[in-house]
Chain A
Amino acid sequence: MLSHLTLFGGVWYAGLTPDMACTFTLHSLKCTVLAWALQLQVDAADRASQGHHKQPGVSGCVQKYGRDDVVGQLRCQSSVLDAIEQNWAPKIPLERGIRALQTPVSVRPSGSKYAVVEDSETESESSQGESSSVVTSDGEQSSECDDVDVVASELVEFEGPWIVNTVSGVGHRALSVDEDDSNWCLACRPGSVMHAGYEMRFDNPWFDGFRLCRHRGCC
């Protein structure tokens, strides 16, 4: 259930479309630094510590008698922060690394230490040492968008209309049944029976407080 708290509002900030913003969930917070650390080839033990994961094949006594559970985590974060200071910008992998999210311009702090860096273009230049060889390639990220691809389909902006269930508060994408757009159905359940609580909206109902349907046909 937690997997899709799709109310992230990147709509208002640089370049993210509503559908792209809905890509992020609350669990994105946990995986963020872990994904960055993998790209930097941070030691697996430190990454396990960062994610509070047990190291496979290592006895729990090793950790227990170390008497310090956070040192690996701090080392992992230090590696990431050091790389960021050197203008390294992480990729955002999608679909287990098959694709990468095309992120907007990464605005660095205005101090002299940082500069404005565009993630997708400066990767090879800014990455140093081992990190450059690990970061996944993003050469195909925007050229191929298969509509069978669940995550990729989320990145295609849907401009409406929507059908909302005013009883349950759920909004669905609307599909036209006829060529003249006189009859509409729910994208998730084209054959379903709609009661009078359904309404058609031409603006994204999320802005009116509706939840968006999580079915693949609707997102």
Chain B
Amino acid sequence: MKRTVRSSPYQVADLQSVASVPRPIYRKVVFINPFQVSRQGLEVVAPSSGAAAPVSATFVVGRGVRRHVNVGLAKEIGSPTCRLLREREEEEREQLADLWISLSASVATDSDILSNLPSAGKEQLKKLFLDRAPATLRKHVSGWRLWLAFCAAHGWQPGAPSLQEFLDFVTSLHEGSRGDRGSHRAISMQNVVSSLSFAAHKLQLTKLLHCLESPLIQVWRRSGKWSIQLGREAVPLPLNIVQRLEEALSTAPAEEHLLISVILLMVWASLRWSDAQRLRLSSVTFDGQHLKGFCWRTKSSAKGMTFGCCAGGCAGVGWGAIFFAEVEKLRSACPTRDYLLAHNGKPLSYIYSYAFPLDAVWWCMVCWLDS
């Protein structure tokens, strides 16, 4: 689906004359990143609207200057209420299942399941989607919505398209994914078709499944393999970064120990961010040499996994003991707590982490690697 590009009233050839052009609604940068950093002063200022938030980023970034990172962790320790992250995820899964049920209403007549259960309640149908992780349900929503919108625009039946109609959609997607740019770029074709497969399988949309299994569509799904380039992969950290982080634990203020030691935990135990966050605090043990624990759910395992790491590290600081002390503080406040980091009294979520708190993680590394 191609989008036409309209000329903007604000179009200018010379950026120097931008100041004289009336501006559209201005949204402060702090919505993207709560910290505004001025390079001149290298001073990090918390957003003015967040006065009640426990973000007291009064640190100054620069050589030889006192640096301080506080992402609200210390206040969370004393929080009397402690709601489990698992409960929050269950709630999110329920909400997403509700959303999927509402999105499936337009294909009810074409669905083998929905058409055979006209009197089924919403709660019964929700079970169709409750077996998937919230992230999976969330991921497929956008692709399915795109298909519904495309069908609505063309007057097609989303649950029973003809092969020609489906091929038109795939072709349009393919062009969009290559031609469009920026925020309006169409989602990649493979992801959208995967979303359609998910919905077709869950709702038993026979005709849609038939289209998806067609050799013609399968060819389209594999069409990118001849143009695949070397993937962008995460680059391992150099040894000196890890060493400096460990050394920072001996000089950092106490409120930053948790943040730094979580980074080290992720390094030494080879954990993803989401794995480390889903650590069951009651399971963490430390015998003086080894630190062990249990992540109750991970990206690759719904049943969770254990981890173990040498607590001594490579700088001789003994980061594991410091991490364990921080964990003990957290679980003394809330013995059932099942997550590590918090922000504004809530578990640091995977999505929200992009906006602010992980900035703080990296700022923390900036600060302490510099010391």
CA distance A7 to B35 in the complex (A): 13
- Contact call B32/A31, Cβ cutoff below 8 A: no
User: Which of chain B's residues have a CB closer than 8 A to the CB of A104?
Assistant: 238, 240
CB of A77 closer than 8 Å to a CB of B: yes
Closest Cβ of chain B to A2, distance in Å, is: 7
Given contacts A10-B369, A169-B29, contact A195 B241 (CB under 8 A): no
User: Which of chain A's residues have a CB closer than 8 A to the CB of B23?
Assistant: 196-197
Given contacts A74-B290, A104-B240, contact A194 B181 (CB under 8 A): no
- Contact call B270/A69, Cβ cutoff below 8 A: no
- Contact call B240/A14, Cβ cutoff below 8 A: yes
CA distance A113 to B358 in the complex (A): 34
CA distance A103 to B266 in the complex (A): 21
User: Which of chain A's residues have a CB closer than 8 A to the CB of B309?
Assistant: 73-74, 77
User: Which of chain A's residues have a CB closer than 8 A to the CB of B36?
Assistant: 208-209
Select the residue from A26, A119, A184, A209 with max chain B CB neighbours within 10 A.
Answer: A209
Given contacts A77-B309, A209-B36, contact A90 B236 (CB under 8 A): yes
- Contact call A106/B63, Cβ cutoff below 8 A: no
- Interface 1/0 per residue, B187-221 and A, CB below 8 Å: 00000000000000000000000000000000000
Query: For residue A1, which residue of chain B has the nearest CB?
Result: B354
Which stretch, B11-19, B99-107, B166-174, B325-333, touches the partner chain A?
B11-19
User: Which of chain B's residues have a CB closer than 8 A to the CB of A183?
Assistant: 13-15
Interface of A is mostly: loop
Given contacts A30-B270, A197-B24, contact A24 B235 (CB under 8 A): yes
CB of B121 closer than 8 Å to a CB of A: no
- Contact call B32/A167, Cβ cutoff below 8 A: no
Given contacts A33-B267, A33-B268, A73-B269, contact A200 B358 (CB under 8 A): no
CA distance A194 to B14 in the complex (A): 10
Partner of A194, one of B15, B238, B306, B367: B15
Q: How many positions in chain A have a CB within 8 Å of any CB in the partner chain?
A: 86
Closest Cβ of chain B to A119, distance in Å, is: 7
CB of B128 closer than 8 Å to a CB of A: no
- Contact call B308/A70, Cβ cutoff below 8 A: yes
Closest Cβ of chain B to A90, distance in Å, is: 6
Select the residue from B42, B273, B275 with max chain A CB neighbours within 10 A.
Answer: B273
Which stretch, B141-149, B311-319, B341-349, touches the partner chain A?
B311-319
- Contact call B270/A8, Cβ cutoff below 8 A: no
Given contacts A50-B270, A109-B315, A196-B22, contact A3 B235 (CB under 8 A): no
Closest Cβ of chain A to B304, distance in Å, is: 10
- Contact call A32/B292, Cβ cutoff below 8 A: no
CB of A156 closer than 8 Å to a CB of B: no
Given contacts A14-B240, A74-B309, A168-B183, contact A3 B232 (CB under 8 A): yes
- Contact call B370/A30, Cβ cutoff below 8 A: no
Which stretch, A94-102, A128-136, A137-145, touches the partner chain B?
A94-102
Closest Cβ of chain A to B243, distance in Å, is: 7
Query: For residue A70, which residue of chain B has the nearest CB?
Result: B308
CB of A210 closer than 8 Å to a CB of B: yes
- Contact call B308/A73, Cβ cutoff below 8 A: yes
- Interface 1/0 per residue, A81-122 and B, CB below 8 Å: 100100001101111100001011111110101000001000
Within 8 A of A (CB), among B352-366: 354, 358-359, 361-363, 365-366
CB of A5 closer than 8 Å to a CB of B: yes
CA distance A17 to B36 in the complex (A): 21
Which residues in B have some Cβ–Cβ distance to A below 8 Å?
5, 7-8, 10-16, 18, 21-27, 29-33, 35-39, 42, 61-63, 181-183, 229-230, 232-244, 247, 263, 266-273, 275, 290, 292, 298, 300-301, 305-310, 312-316, 350, 354, 358-359, 361-363, 365-367, 369-370
Can you report 21 A-B residue pairs in the complex whose CB atoms are below 8 A from each other? Answer: A2-B273, A8-B365, A12-B62, A23-B235, A24-B235, A24-B237, A28-B236, A29-B237, A52-B271, A52-B305, A73-B309, A92-B237, A92-B238, A106-B239, A111-B316, A151-B235, A194-B11, A194-B15, A197-B26, A209-B29, A211-B33
10 nearest interchain CB pairs?
A9-B366, A70-B308, A169-B32, A27-B234, A195-B10, A35-B236, A196-B10, A29-B266, A103-B238, A12-B370
